[in-house]
C-alpha cells in the first residue's frame, strides 16, 4: 500500500481519487448495447450474454426445477445462516415503517402523506468471482416489506449456464417473482426497456462493476429510477493506538478482495500502528484464496498518517467513504463528527463484514464519494410518498384570498379563476 505522511490539504483531491474509469471511457459501449437491446430484445440479450459470459442459453429464465435443485445443494448450515441474516434484516427494515402523517394546516384544509410501494422493481445481483447472494437479502427483504408486487432479479450465469445455488435459494426464500440468467450492461438494459422475457421495471437496485454503474445511470434517461450510483466497493478505517492492527488489516483486505478496482484507505494518528497494519496485511494476504485480486486492489489503496484527529475527520468527510470503521479511544468524536459515509462501524469488534451479511443494516451503499448526497438502501427506497388534501367550504374561504393574490402576482389568471369561481359559488348560496 502507498504510505503517505501528513499530506498537505491541497494534495487531498488527488490523493483520495478513486481508481475508476471515467464515464467517457464506458458510456459509448453502454449506449451501443442499450440501443441494441431496445431494438432486438431477447436476441440482443443472448448475443451479449454469449460475448461477455461465454455461454449460449436456450432459455434465460430460471425454472422451478432449477430452484428446487439449488435448494437441495445448499448446506443446512448455510441455510440457517441465511435465515438468521434474513430475520435481522427484516427486523431492522420493518422498524423503518412510518405511519400516515395528517395535518389540518388551516381551518377546513386537511393535508396528509401516505407511502405506496413501487410496483415493479429490478434487482441486479453480481455473480462472477463472488456470487453475492447476500445482496438479495438486502434488496428483496425490504422490497417485500414495502409491498412491491413484482420483483425481478437478474444475475449472470457461469460458463455452464448455471446460477450459483445460494443465489437461487435466497431468491426463492425472499419472494423474488422472476429470476433471469443475465448480467452486466445487458441486464440493466433488459430491465430498462423490457424484452420478451425480461419485464420492464420502474426502479433498478443493486451494486455492480463500473459498466453496470454507468448502465444504471443511463437507465435514468429512459424513465427508470435507480437506487444510487453504487460502483466498486470501498472502505476507510480510522484508528489510533487503541486499534488492533490484525483486525484493521483484516477489514482492509475484506474489501480489497471484492475486486481489482476496489479501494481501501487507512487513516491514523499513530506511525507505529501503520507499520503493524502493513505487516499484518502482508501476512494475511499470503493465505487468501483471492490473493491476486486483493493485491491489485491494495495497489490502489492508501495508508495515511496525519497529525491530529481533527485533520483525520476533515479528510474522512472529504472522501465520503462507502464503509467507515472507527477504532479509536475517542470514538464519539468521529461518530458525532462524520457527515459523509454510507455506513459506520464502531469499535474493534464491529467488522464491516457484519454489515455485509447479518447484523441487519443494508450493505447497498453509495460509493465514489456519493455518500455526500446519497443514502444507502432502506425501506423507503422501495416506496414513494404521495400527498393528499381535502378542502371544505370553510377551508376554501380561509385560504382562497391568499391563493388568488399569489396566482395574480405570478400572472397565472386561470389559477386565480379556479379559486374565484368557487368563492363566488359559495357567496351565491
Alpha carbons 191 and 54: distance in angstroms, whole number: 21
Q: Return the pLDDT at 101.
A: 97
C-alpha distances (whole Å) from 58 to each of 41, 45, 129, 136 are 15, 12, 24, 25
Q: Which residues are annotated as a binding site for Zn(2+)?
A: 255, 258, 356, 415
Question: Any bridge partners for residue 117, and if so which?
Answer: 383
Q: What is the CA radius of gyration of the chain?
A: 25
Query: For residues 248 and 277, is the Cβ–Cβ distance under 8 A?
Result: yes
Alpha carbons 45 and 87: distance in angstroms, whole number: 35
Q: Return the pLDDT at 22.
A: 64
Closest CA to 250 of 132, 356, 351: 351
Q: Return the pLDDT at 21.
A: 61
- Please write the tens of the pLDDT for every residue from 227-278: 998 778 899 999 999 999 999 999 999 999 998 889 999 999 999 999 999 9
Block means of pLDDT (10 residues each) for the chain, length 429 residues?
93 90 81 98 97 94 97 98 98 97 98 98 88 96 98 96 96 98 97 98 92 94 93 93 98 94 95 96 96 93 96 98 98 98 98 98 94 97 98 98 98 98 95
Q: How many angstroms from the chain centroid is the CA of residue 386?
A: 23
End-to-end CA distance of the chain: 81
Closest CA to 127 of 151, 101, 100, 158: 158
Alpha carbons 230 and 249: distance in angstroms, whole number: 24
In words, the CATH class of domain 392-428 is mainly alpha
Selecting among 93, 322, 352, 363, the annotated active-site residue is: 322
Four-residue CA torsion sign, 127, 119, 342, 85: negative
Helix H or strand E encompassing 386: strand 383-391
Cβ burial of 328 (10 Å; 0-12, 13-18, 19+) is: buried
Q: Which three cell numbers stand for residue 61?
A: 429464465
Q: Which residues are annotated as a binding site for NAD(+)?
A: 124, 186, 209
Selecting among 323, 352, 363, 404, the annotated active-site residue is: 323
Where in the chain are the domains?
A: 2-18+232-360, 23-104+117-227, 392-428
Strand order in the sheet with 101-106: 101-106, 109-117, 383-391
Query: For residues 153 and 179, is the Cβ–Cβ distance under 8 A?
Result: yes
DSSP, collapsed to helix, strand or coil, labels residue 134 as helix
Q: What number of helices (H) and strands (E) belong to the chain? A: 17, 14
Four-residue CA torsion sign, 351, 357, 359, 361: positive
Closest CA to 352 of 324, 375, 330, 374: 324
Q: Which three cell numbers stand for residue 400?
A: 382562497
Cβ burial of 39 (10 Å; 0-12, 13-18, 19+) is: exposed
Q: Which residues are annotated as a binding site?
A: 124, 186, 209, 233, 255, 258, 323, 356, 410, 415
Q: Do the domains at 23-104+117-227 and 392-428 have one common CATH topology?
A: no
Architecture per CATH, 2-18+232-360: 3-Layer(aba) Sandwich (3.40)
Alpha carbons 200 and 171: distance in angstroms, whole number: 19
DSSP output for 36-76: HHHHHTHHHHHHHHHHHH----S--BPPHHHHHHHHHHS-H
Closest CA to 20 of 289, 224, 213: 213
363 is catalytic: no
Query: For residues 298 and 284, is the Cβ–Cβ distance under 8 A?
Result: no
307 is catalytic: no
Q: Which residues are annotated as a binding site for substrate?
A: 233, 255, 258, 323, 356, 410, 415
- 302-305 and 2-5 beta bridge pairing: parallel
Q: Return the pLDDT at 231.
A: 75
CATH topology of domain 23-104+117-227: Rossmann fold (3.40.50)
Alpha carbons 174 and 86: distance in angstroms, whole number: 8
Amino acid at each position: 500500500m502507498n504510505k503517505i505522511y501528513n499530506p498537505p490539504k491541497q494534495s487531498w483531491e488527488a490523493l483520495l481519487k478513486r481508481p475508476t474509469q471515467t464515464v467517457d471511457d464506458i458510456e459509448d459501449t453502454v449506449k451501443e448495447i442499450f440501443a441494441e437491446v431496445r431494438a432486438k430484445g431477447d436476441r440482443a440479450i443472448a448475443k451479449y450474454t454469449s460475448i461477455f459470459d461465454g455461454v449460449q442459453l436456450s432459455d434465460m429464465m430460471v425454472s422451478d426445477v432449477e430452484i428446487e435443485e439449488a435448494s437441495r445443494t445448499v448446506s443446512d448450515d448455510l441455510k440457517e445462516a441465511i435465515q438468521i441474516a434474513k430475520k435481522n434484516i427484516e427486523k431492522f427494515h420493518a422498524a423503518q415503517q412510518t405511519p400516515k402523517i395528517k395535518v389540518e394546516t388551516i381551518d377546513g384544509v386537511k393535508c396528509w402523506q401516505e407511502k405506496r410501494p413501487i410496483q415493479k422493481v429490478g434487482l441486479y445481483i453480481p455473480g462472477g468471482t463472488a456470487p453475492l447472494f447476500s445482496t438479495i437479502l438486502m434488496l428483496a427483504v425490504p422490497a417485500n416489506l414495502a409491498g412491491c408486487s413484482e420483483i425481478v432479479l437478474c444475475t449472470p450465469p457461469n460458463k455452464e449456464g448455471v446460477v450459483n445455488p445460494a443465489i437461487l435459494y435466497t431468491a426463492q426464500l425472499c419472494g423474488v417473482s422472476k429470476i433471469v440468467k443475465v448480467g452486466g450492461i445487458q441486464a440493466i438494459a433488459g430491465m430498462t426497456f423490457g424484452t420478451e422475457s425480461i419485464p420492464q421495471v420502474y426502479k433498478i437496485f443493486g451494486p455492480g462493476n463500473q459498466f453496470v454503474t454507468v448502465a444504471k445511470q443511463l437507465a435514468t434517461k429512459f424513465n427508470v429510477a435507480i437506487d444510487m450510483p453504487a460502483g466498486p466497493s470501498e472502505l476507510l478505517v480510522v484508528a489510533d493506538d487503541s486499534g488492533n492492527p490484525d483486525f484493521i488489516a483484516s477489514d482492509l483486505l475484506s474489501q480489497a478482495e471484492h475486486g481489482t478496482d476496489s479501494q481501501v484507505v487507512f487513516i491514523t494518528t499513530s506511525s507505529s500502528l501503520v507499520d503493524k497494519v502493513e505487516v499484518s496485511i502482508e501476512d494475511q494476504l499470503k493465505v487468501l484464496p483471492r490473493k491476486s485480486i486483493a493485491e491489485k486492489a491494495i495497489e490502489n489503496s492508501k495508508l495515511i498518517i496525519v497529525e491530529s484527529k481533527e485533520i483525520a475527520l476533515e479528510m474522512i468527510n472529504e472522501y465520503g467513504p462507502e464503509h467507515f470503521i472507527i477504532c479509536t479511544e475517542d470514538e464519539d468524536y468521529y461518530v458525532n463528527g462524520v457527515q459523509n459515509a454510507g455506513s459506520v462501524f464502531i469499535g474493534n469488534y464491529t467488522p464491516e463484514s457484519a454489515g455485509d451479511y447479518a447484523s441487519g443494516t443494508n450493505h447497498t451503499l453509495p460509493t465514489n464519494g456519493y455518500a455526500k448526497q446519497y443514502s444507502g438502501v432502506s425501506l423507503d427506497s422501495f416506496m414513494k410518498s404521495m400527498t393528499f388534501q381535502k378542502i371544505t367550504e370553510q377551508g376554501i374561504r380561509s385560504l382562497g384570498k391568499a391563493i388568488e393574490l399569489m396566482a395574480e402576482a405570478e400572472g397565472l389568471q386561470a389559477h386565480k379563476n379556479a379559486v374565484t369561481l368557487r368563492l363566488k359559488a359559495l357567496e351565491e348560496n
